[in-house]
Amino acid sequence: MVLIEQALSRAAIDAFYRVYNRLGYGFLESVYVGALVVELQRDGHIVEREVPIEVAYDGVVLGFFRADLLVDRILILEVKADSEFTAGPERQLMNYLRCSELEIGILLVFGMKPRFKRLIHTRDRKLTQNK
């Protein structure tokens, strides 16, 4: 099985562990997001913060989500500074993928133990759901 955007995913996860190993647990999400920006930009990636993702219903724009980070205009990174790994942030990230043309996102949890979860929602799946 070939992973979608395997190299980019690996780069983001590597940056996540570098940040966690330097900062540890207990900072605000904004601190971790800032450190991830530094690490990913050092690695040569284009990183955007607080990227608006449009939510539409029957062609009517209802509002916008704000993704924590968008890397190389391909990968959404959603950052949490919680001690628990809960379903809410995972649903939030999946909604970002469902509402956008993006196919891959990674939930990064800077808890007492560092954890991540990679989520995929492919374009072909989006097309079948919209029929």
Supply the pTM of this predicted model.
0.87
CA 29 – CA 26 distance, rounded (Å) = 9
CA 119 – CA 107 distance, rounded (Å) = 8
Edge-to-edge strands of the sheet including 114-120? 47-57, 60-71, 75-80, 104-110, 114-120
Q: What is the CATH number of domain 6-129?
A: 3.40.1350
* Domain layout of the chain by residue ranges: 6-129
User: What pLDDT is recorded for position 30?
Assistant: 96
User: What pLDDT is recorded for position 88?
Assistant: 87
Burial (CB < 10 A; 0-12, 13-18, 19+), residue 52, is exposed
Nearest to 9 by CA among 53, 40, 34: 40
User: What pLDDT is recorded for position 125?
Assistant: 53
CA 58 – CA 25 distance, rounded (Å) = 42
State the Cα angle at 104 between 21 and 13, rounded to 5°. 15
User: What pLDDT is recorded for position 128?
Assistant: 52
Per-residue pLDDT tens digits for 40-85: 999 999 999 999 988 888 889 999 989 999 999 999 999 999 867 6
Alpha helices in the chain (DSSP H): 6-23, 29-42, 87-99, 123-129
The residue to which tokens 């993928």 are assigned: 97
Alpha helices in 24-59 (DSSP H): 29-42
What is the residue-averaged pLDDT of the chain? 89
Structure-token pair, residue 69: 């980070």
